Amino acid sequence: MISGAPAPRVAVLDYGIGNLRSAEKALQRAGATACLVSDPDEVAGAAGVVLPGVGAFGRCAKALSDTGLAVAALDALSRGVPFLGICVGMQLLYEGSEEDARATGLGVLPGTVRRLPAGVKHPQMQWNRLARVPGRPSRLLEGVGPQEWVYFVHSFAPEISDDTVATCDYGGPVAAACERHNVFGVQFHPEKSGSAGIRILAAFAAMCEAAPRPATPAAK
């Protein structure tokens, strides 16, 4: 943090899915001024946005749309605000998921979310090692080692693509983190991943602090 400067305000999108409070508290431990936001208008003034998610892709996509927070999320993404998707929140960054062919994601990253490989237990519910993808630098993962242990709970994951910056081994390589410009995603739960997770969230908080503050819409 810059000495004497206020901590960044990070909006944790509250669309009624899962234990959002745990993500908020973990971000606060990492040094961010994080708060749950359910009003789409409040997202406009945030220095960073976090989209958590647990459960089914289709249910999360519908709840995000029904609350108006999908539009607010897309607006933040288009303005270059640092944006972090966690677990199903990462999956929602993509175009869709074979878990629910009728549901659509935010579509800011190309690709489809696929079921984990056959022959392994579904869901993956365990600690697993991150494997950084050679030749793909990551601002989000700068503070973690090449094979950090993090905690996963999921049955689906995005396809590995040029945006994948880390994988884990679960019946084969599985996308564990993605990054493109201001868009970041982690398939694991940093709020449940001990010191490694806090370092990842601290890196995100630092990017929010360094990013130009978005203009808050003028009062009508």
- Helices 20-29 and 194-210 pack at an angle, to 10 degrees, of 80
Is residue 87 annotated as part of the catalytic site, yes or no? yes
60 is an active site residue: no
Burial-class residue 121 by CB neighbours within 10 Å (0-12, 13-18, 19+): exposed
Helix ranges (DSSP H) in 103-216: 194-210
- Which of these is catalytic: 24, 148, 179, 191? 191
Residue 191 designated active-site: yes
For β-strands 33-37 and 9-13, DSSP reports them as: parallel
Query: Which is catalytic among the residues 24, 60, 87, 208?
Result: 87
Burial pattern 144-162, b for ≥16 Cβ within 10 A else e, equals: beeebbbbbebebbbebee
The single residue of 60, 154, 179, 189 carrying the catalytic annotation is 189
Q: Left (φ > 0), alpha (ψ -120 to 50) or beta: where does 157 sit? A: beta
Show the beta-strand stretches assigned E in 72-182.
83-86, 96-97, 112-115, 124-129, 131-132, 149-154, 156-158, 164-169, 173-180
Looking at the annotation, which residues are catalytic? 87, 189, 191
